[in-house]
């Protein structure tokens, strides 16, 4: 029986013992696997069945998705990367401080270890899913249009509202999911008689017009826009309650002032009529005369010129003036 050298075995001492390799005349060499394996190929010496998350000819390298801290001996076990295969490729590298970071995150994730949701995604049961804002997310907030933890939309457009901008905002109706939220309209049967009153006299009408015109102009910004349809109905945009109260108050003031103007006009007219009836009036009573122009011309030569200009006037009662008969005008 042969006595084999170290690491050699067999009936003829012609083979390396397990854990040894590189058969030669001097014997076999122990496997160099950095304590991560006890076996290697007998001819090549490549380690087999490396442990400690290692690989390589001498189990000197860390397997994919594992790392070894800087300065650690090759005999140390490799540690798993803090990168989930769900959120990243799973591989990692070491930064300048020796801390591991994920090489590449999936589109939904971000952060050194791909532990955060990317903009436009939110955390739903530890999985990042796209924000659901029904297509109504405010693009000005892009790319982060929803809260990364709750998924609540940060801003809505197209007259929509709600956690996912899924319904129309107040004052609008329609379907927010198809982006057709439009202002709510109120149908009314008439457009006349709201802010105008017919007056019985032209003076009152002018007064009302001169007062109401600037007031209505100032209320133009408070009144809703109206649109008259072909059927004669009017659509009015909704007016806030406080503005509606202001409009009603303005209409009441206009009506009260108009009524006061009518009363003042009637009172002034009656006073004028009463003064006209009670005013003093002087009258002259004219009496019939029987002057004959023939006798007048015949009497001129014999007339007393001194009495030509004399007149006898008698005062009548109540301030009336009466002319005497023609016989008293001339003296013959």
Q: What CATH number matches the domain at 1-75, 1.10.3720.10, 3.30.70.1380, 2.10.25.10, 3.40.190.10?
A: 2.10.25.10
pLDDT, block means (10 residues), the chain with 332 residues:
73 80 82 92 90 94 92 93 91 91 93 92 92 92 90 94 95 94 76 41 44 49 46 51 84 94 90 73 56 54 52 48 48 44
pTM for the full predicted model: 0.44
Quick check: bond before 143 cis, omega within 30?
A: yes
**248 contact partners, CB below 8 Å, separation of at least 6:** none
Whole-number Å distance between alpha carbons of 210 and 180:
44
What's the length of the chain? 332
Looking at residue 101, its pLDDT comes to 93
Indicate the burial class of 141 (C-beta count within 10 angstroms; 0-12, 13-18, 19 or more).
middle
The DSSP annotation for 26-50 comes to: TEEEEP--TTS-SEE-TTT--EES-
Give the closest residue to 108 by CA, choosing from 153, 152, 66, 148. Answer: 148
Indicate the burial class of 192 (C-beta count within 10 angstroms; 0-12, 13-18, 19 or more).
exposed
Give the closest residue to 35 by CA, choosing from 15, 18, 19, 17. Answer: 19
Looking at residue 44, its pLDDT comes to 87
Q: What share of the chain is helix, strand, coil (3-state, %, to 5)?
A: 25, 20, 55
Give the closest residue to 35 by CA, choosing from 76, 78, 80. Answer: 76
């Amino acid at each position: 029986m042969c006595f084999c050298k170290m690491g050699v075995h067999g009936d003829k001492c012609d083979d390396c013992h397990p854990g040894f390799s590189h058969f030669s005349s001097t014997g076999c060499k122990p496997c160099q696997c950095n304590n991560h394996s006890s076996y290697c190929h007998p001819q090549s010496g490549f380690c087999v069945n490396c442990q400690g998350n290692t690989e390589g000819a001498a189990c000197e390298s860390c397997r994919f998705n594992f790392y070894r801290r800087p300065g650690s001996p090759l005999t140390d076990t490799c540690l798993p990367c803090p990168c989930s295969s769900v959120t990243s490729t799973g591989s990692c590298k070491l930064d300048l401080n020796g801390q591991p970071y994920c090489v590449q995150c999936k589109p939904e994730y971000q952060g050194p270890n791909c532990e955060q949701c990317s903009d436009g995604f939110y955390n739903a049961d530890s999985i990042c899913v796209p924000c659901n804002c029904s297509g109504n997310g405010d693009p000005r907030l892009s790319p982060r249009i929803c809260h990364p933890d709750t998924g609540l939309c940060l801003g809505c457009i197209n007259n929509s509202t709600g956690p996912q901008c899924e319904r129309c905002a107040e004052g609008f109706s329609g379907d927010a999911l198809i982006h057709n939220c439009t202002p709510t309209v109120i149908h009314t049967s008439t457009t006349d008689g709201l802010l105008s009153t017919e007056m019985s006299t032209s003076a009152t009408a002018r007064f009302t017009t001169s007062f109401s015109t600037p007031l209505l102009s100032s209320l133009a910004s408070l009144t809703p826009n109206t649109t008259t349809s072909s059927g004669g109905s009017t659509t009015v945009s909704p007016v806030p309650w406080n503005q509606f109260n202001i409009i009603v108050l303005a209409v009441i003031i206009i009506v009260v002032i108009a009524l006061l103007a009518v009363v003042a006009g009637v009172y002034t007219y009656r006073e004028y009529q009463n003064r006209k009836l009670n005013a003093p009036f002087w009258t002259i009573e004219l009496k019939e005369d029987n002057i004959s122009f023939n006798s007048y011309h015949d009497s001129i030569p014999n007339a007393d010129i001194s009495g030509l200009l004399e007149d006898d006037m008698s005062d009548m009662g109540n301030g009336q003036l009466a002319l005497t008969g023609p016989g008293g005008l001339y003296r013959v």
